[in-house]
Amino acid sequence: MRTRLTEALKVEHPVMLAGMGGVSYSRLVAAVSAAGGFGCLGASTMGDEQMVAEIAAVRSLTDRPFGVDLLTAAPQDMPAKVQAIIDGGASVFVAGLGVPREVIDQCHEQDVLVVNMCGKVHHAVAAVEAGCDLVVAQGTEAGGHTGQVATMALVPQVVDAVGGEVPVVAAGGITDGRGLAAALTLGADGVWVGTRFIATPEARAVPGYKDRLLASDEAGTVITRAYTGKTCRVLRTTYVEEFEASGARPEPFPGQVIRSMTDGANHLGGGEDTPDVDPDREFMPAGQGVGAITELVPAGDLVRSFVDEATAALGRADALA
């Protein structure tokens, strides 16, 4: 399945692993890339030394292309972090929560592509005008930091606005190959998948996270500012319910992150051995596609099934023409 995305990323399949902070670590990234997709390391929860070590770990596990995701809005020395990403061998830098204008030239001078996460059409236009090479049109169904426009509405509008200039990747509520087929018919060049890849053996997760995903239905998520101060879709918990009922005002990002950590409700980045995690209060980003996830599946198998299912779905649609 060849698209502009596979050509740009130099991969076999138009399936990108979302760079989920706290989840997308080296083992998961390498598994997706080795299967012909594009793995993306979620470095937003990592310190500098850990990020460098995780990048090196990815490179030790696979020689396939991979990327690294950081939040533009986070206080940090972005040029230094991006240089570490480049020096580590990543081929793509992904930026969320803002256009990374200060490092775009730095990336291009060293043959690294820049991807920007976009929740509105004007975000995508601004990203392309600034020099970004790809945009991810992420609908509100997505887990984590998300906007208000649905994927089905957002993707074709972003394609119309910038698709003639750069590849557009669809995100939000996509959990199988039918979602990939739908994205392609909307004009996108591939998909950016998060929540489905949390439910894999390779994903990093605190105790109870994967079990809660498998037990949740399509109404099991909620958008809240309780954990980060920014609108974030997460699994519904008593911590969210208590925060919303209290009428408390969230502190500006990243102050609310620190607050939820102090409250013992945010261990994102921890593993299965993390102590004192209460799954009914914990910060567990997840998208609305969670109700379709019923079992843990190896990440490489997921990549291949996305393509097989999409091919079958497109074949069914073609038979109706």
pLDDT digits (tens, 9 = 90+) for 239-273: 999 999 999 999 999 999 999 999 999 999 999 99
Condensed to tens digits (0 to 9), the pLDDT of residues 18-72 reads 999 999 999 999 999 999 999 999 999 999 999 999 999 999 999 999 999 998 8
The CATH number of 4-202+291-313 is: 3.20.20.70
Is pLDDT of 284 > 90? yes
Contact 221, 143 (CB under 8 A): yes
DSSP 88: T
Tell me: the pLDDT tens digits for 148-195? 999 999 999 999 999 999 999 999 999 999 999 999 999 999 999 999
CA distance linking residue 38 with residue 41, whole number of Å: 10
Provide CATH 3.20.20.70 ranges for the chain: 4-202+291-313
Report the half-sphere exposure of 40 (CA within 13 A, side-chain side): 28
Pair 170, 191: CB distance under 8 Å: yes
Sign of CA dihedral 30, 34, 35, 40: positive
Task: Answer yes or no: is pLDDT of 74 > 90.
Answer: no
Cα distance between residue 162 and residue 169, in whole Å: 11
The predicted structure's pLDDT at residue 311? 97
Q: Distance between CA atoms of 289 and 113, rounded to whole angstroms?
A: 29
pLDDT score of 76: 80
304 burial level (CB within 10 Å; 0-12, 13-18, 19+): middle
The answer to whether the beta carbons of residues 172 and 140 sit under 8 Å apart is yes
